[in-house]
Amino acid sequence: MVYLSSEELSSLLIARKFLKDISEGYIGRDISTIVEKITTILKKHVAEESLIDDALSFQLIEYSPAPEEVFKAVLEGCLKRRSLSFTYRSLTRDDKTIRTVDPYHLLNYMGTWHLIAYCHMRQDLRNFVFGRMSDLKVLENTFTIPKSFNIQEHLQSAFGIYKGLPTKEVCLRFSPEKARWVEGQVWHKEQKTKFLKDGSLELSFPVADFREIMMEILKHGSGVEVIRPKALRELIREESKKIARIY
């Protein structure tokens, strides 16, 4: 019997649940085999087998499932440094384009799988959502990731999913009521927080694109105010007018 410390058991339990909840459905049998092996080890260290599934869980909403064939092909391209070809459905426009890319990194962002890749058509780094990719092919030609590219620096460069662009510092002021919700949350590694005398909270962090942060701001309604930049204040003001016209 393999004896495990409490820390090792906790890590195995989290890994098993993560694999089941996050990956099930698009990695299929390969992941199922790994989960079964972890389960076999855990069974020897718990009083009842049902406790394995009841101990913890991950709950995600608003994510886009990834087709199994897309996931496997993209992963193969990343690991073998082989270019990919696929049809991509645009998020902002109702059209499709054929892309050839050099896949650099797979990112699971809030439950949705993304591919960070060099796009031959755009001649720049782009982010592709797995669920919007089809007719995917792993090509024979190989590529080399530039030494100047560092994936960790790229991921930490700005708030949210939009990276690789010049950033602007965003400062949000949350009301005392909302501050109790936001306090302790990590929006970005380099964020700065400041409590004001009335109990409100100012949160500042770098943002490369306003689209995602706008959705986060609107989610908090009147409980948050954009202090800067002015361009983002104007966008929120205009969107608020559109919302008011609906209601």
Q: What percent of the chain has pLDDT over 90?
A: 58
CA dihedral 17, 59, 187, 16 (to 10 degrees): 0
Q: Coil, strand or helix: which one is 11?
A: helix
151, pLDDT greater than 70: yes
Residue 132 pLDDT: 92
Mean pLDDT of 100-125: 93
The domain locations on the chain are 6-54, 68-151, 168-246
Tell me how many degrees the CA angle 81-86-88 measures, rounded to the nearest 5.
125
Do 44 and 1 contact (CB within 8 A), yes or no?
yes
Name the band, by pLDDT with cuts 50, 70 and 90, for residue 156: confident
Q: Which H helix or E strand runs over 242?
A: helix 230-246
Q: What is the DSSP letter of 168?
A: E
Kindly report the CATH number that applies to the domain delimited by 68-151: 2.30.30
26, pLDDT greater than 60: no
Dihedral-angle region of residue 104 (phi above 0 means left; psi in -120 to 50 means alpha; beta otherwise): alpha
Structure pTM? 0.76
Q: What is the mean pLDDT of the chain?
A: 86
Residue range 56-81, pLDDT digits in tens: 666 777 778 788 888 889 999 999 99
Residue range 212-230, pLDDT digits in tens: 999 999 999 999 999 999 9
Residue 19 pLDDT: 64
